[in-house]
Amino acid sequence: MASGNAKTQVNMPDYSIVSQPVTYINKSDLARFKDALKELDFQVFELNGEKVRDAESLFEQAARDWPHPPYLTPDSWPALADCLWTSLVESAHPKVVLLWTEAQNMLDGGLPVLITGIEVVSSNLKNAAKKSKADPAEVYYRLVISGSGPNFPPFQAG
């Protein structure tokens, strides 16, 4: 006799690869990591950090690579925060990763800028997620920092 209390098992996507607000990935695993994000239907905006060494070069690269409304320019920390927040809140896409590559370049003299950048971006992703047009239960806004060297761990899928 079948019980009326049988539970239906639902296969939920495994978002463990971006379970934290900020994820660090070794550059050697970046292609595999991006493939995993694509399979999970994440929209990825990649900031090419090859020439980023200070706040000014970060703002210039963010203006080229990360989303921002045409009427705002990310030329300071508050402006970068406004640009990201506005773009994400206006977007209907619930799964977004902001990826900063070649971040190891910031470890030689640019560490304070890297730390400030991580703080500004991750707090804005959190705030934007609360105001997103997408269903709050489905919103995943994450920051991924990628680079080479021992500070950037290898990617390990769920």
| CATH number, domain containing residue 80 | 3.30.370.10
Q: Are 65 and 104 in contact (CB under 8 A)?
A: no
Say what the alpha-carbon torsion angle 79, 82, 85, 88 is, to the nearest 10 degrees: -80
pLDDT band at 14 (very low <50, low <70, confident <90, very high): low
120 in any annotated domain: yes
154 in any annotated domain: no
155 in any annotated domain: no
H or E stretch including 109? Answer: none
Over residues 99-115, the mean pLDDT reads: 95
Say how far apart CA 70 and CA 63 lie, in whole Å: 10
Total number of domains constituting the chain = 1
For the cut 80, the answer to whether the pLDDT of residue 142 exceeds it is yes
55 in any annotated domain: yes
* Short-list 68, 138, 66, 127, CA closest to 99: 66
pTM, 2 dp: 0.86
Highest mean pLDDT among 91-100, 111-120, 137-146: 111-120
70 in any annotated domain: yes
Over residues 131-136, the mean pLDDT reads: 73
Say how far apart CA 36 and CA 28 lie, in whole Å: 14
8 in any annotated domain: no
3-class DSSP state of 72? coil
Q: Is the dihedral of CA 108, 76, 124, 43 positive or negative?
A: negative
Range of the domain at 53: 18-147
φ and ψ at 156, to 5 degrees? -130, 110
For the cut 70, the answer to whether the pLDDT of residue 149 exceeds it is yes
7 in any annotated domain: no
Q: Are 26 and 153 in contact (CB under 8 A)?
A: yes
Region of residue 75 (left: phi > 0; alpha: psi -120 to 50; beta: else): alpha
4 in any annotated domain: no
